[in-house]
């Protein structure tokens, strides 16, 4: 049972947008602006794509954007491309702990 | 480019101790940052296990703390995980990662992970 809840799957056609939610509590997502998102292609190392809710590391396309409202954070992938097909998971600082989401498989149709 | 690579036995017997090592390249672990272990179990998602700072300060997931040891070997630019009294529930892909700590609270580099199966 993951601490943060994500939908198991999401999909979109090339060029479309897809938004993934990440729901926690006031003790994690809602309590801190320290939500991060990771892209994981199976067999490869997970890659940081969003940190501190909205910030993108150098080299990450601006097609990836993050936001937060209350206890729910969201990742939007705009202009979907074939290489965006991957697993995405969120995470949040939670005081003396650190929690992750259950992961969402994004399929590019 | 910072790279991390996990290594260790892929099969551990129940009640024994799981031992993994993470070898870091492209950055000296004694230069700063925090170094962490995270696992992903089938059906349970990702779980943070433990973190070590280069000074030797350690942090643990409260649910695993009693069974976990994390240590570093700066001469080899490695850090390690030991998880004692393992059960089938400890079967997972174990990742090592670099953690920014208070400077953003995120993991900026990860290893690919290594599958550890607990079975007799």
Q: Which residues of B touch A45 (CB under 8 A)?
A: 4, 95, 109-113
User: What are φ and ψ of residue B70, in 5° steps?
Assistant: -125, 140
Calpha distance B61→A22 (Å, rounded): 21
HSE, CB side, 13 Å, CA atoms: give it for residue A106. Answer: 28
Asked if B105 lies within 8 A of A89 by C-beta distance, the reply is: no
What pLDDT sits at residue A2?
Answer: 64
Provide CB contacts within 8 A for A58, sequence distance 6+. none
Q: What is the pLDDT of residues A52-80, one digit of tens each?
A: 999 999 999 999 999 999 999 999 999 99
pLDDT one-digit tens code per residue, B15-39: 999 999 999 999 999 998 999 999 9
Least CB–CB distance from B44: residue in A1, A36, A46: A1
Picking from B11, B34, B36, the residue whose alpha carbon sits closest to that of residue B102 is B34
Could you give the 3-state DSSP secondary structure of residue A1?
A: coil
Q: How far is B96 from chain A (nearest CA, A)?
A: 10
Touching check for B105 and chain A: CB below 8 Å? yes
Residues, chain B, total?
120
Q: How far is CA B109 from the centre of its chain?
A: 13
pLDDT at B13: 97
Chain B interface disruption, residue of A89, A92, A98, A99, most B CBs within 10 A = A98
Contacts of A43 in chain B (CB under 8 A): 112
Q: Decide if B11 touches A, using CB distance below 8 A.
A: no
Contact A54, A65 (CB under 8 A): yes
Contact A45 B112 (CB under 8 A): yes
Mean pLDDT across B55-77: 93
| Distances B83 to A95, B15, B34, B60, B118 between C-alpha atoms, Å | 23, 10, 19, 12, 12
CA dist., res. A109 & res. A106, Å (int): 9
**How far from chain centre, in Å, is Cα B81?**
5
CA of B85 to nearest chain A CA: how many angstroms apart? 21
Q: What is the number of other CB atoms lying within 10 angstroms of the CB of residue B91?
A: 18
């Amino acid at each position: 049972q993951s601490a943060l809840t994500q939908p198991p799957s999401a999909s979109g056609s090339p060029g479309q947008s897809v938004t993934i939610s990440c729901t926690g509590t006031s003790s994690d997502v809602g309590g801190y602006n320290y939500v991060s998102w990771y892209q994981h292609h199976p067999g490869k190392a997970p890659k940081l794509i969003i940190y501190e809710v909205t910030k993108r590391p150098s080299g990450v396309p601006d097609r990836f954007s993050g936001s937060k409202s209350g206890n729910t954070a969201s990742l939007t992938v705009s202009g979907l491309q074939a290489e965006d097909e991957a697993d995405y998971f969120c995470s949040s600082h939670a005081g003396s702990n650190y929690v992750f989401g259950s992961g969402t498989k994004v399929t590019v149709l | 480019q910072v790279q991390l690579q996990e290594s260790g036995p892929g099969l551990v017997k129940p009640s024994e101790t799981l031992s993994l090592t993470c070898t870091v390249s492209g950055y000296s672990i004694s230069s700063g940052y925090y170094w962490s272990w995270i696992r992903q179990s089938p059906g349970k998602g990702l779980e943070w296990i433990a973190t070590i700072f280069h000074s030797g300060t350690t942090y643990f997931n409260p649910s695993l703390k009693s069974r976990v040891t994390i240590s570093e070997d700066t001469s080899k630019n490695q850090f390690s995980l030991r998880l004692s009294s393992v059960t089938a529930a400890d079967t997972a892909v174990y990742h090592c990662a670099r953690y920014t700590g208070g400077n953003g609270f995120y993991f900026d580099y990860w290893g690919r992970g290594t599958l550890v199966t607990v079975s007799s």
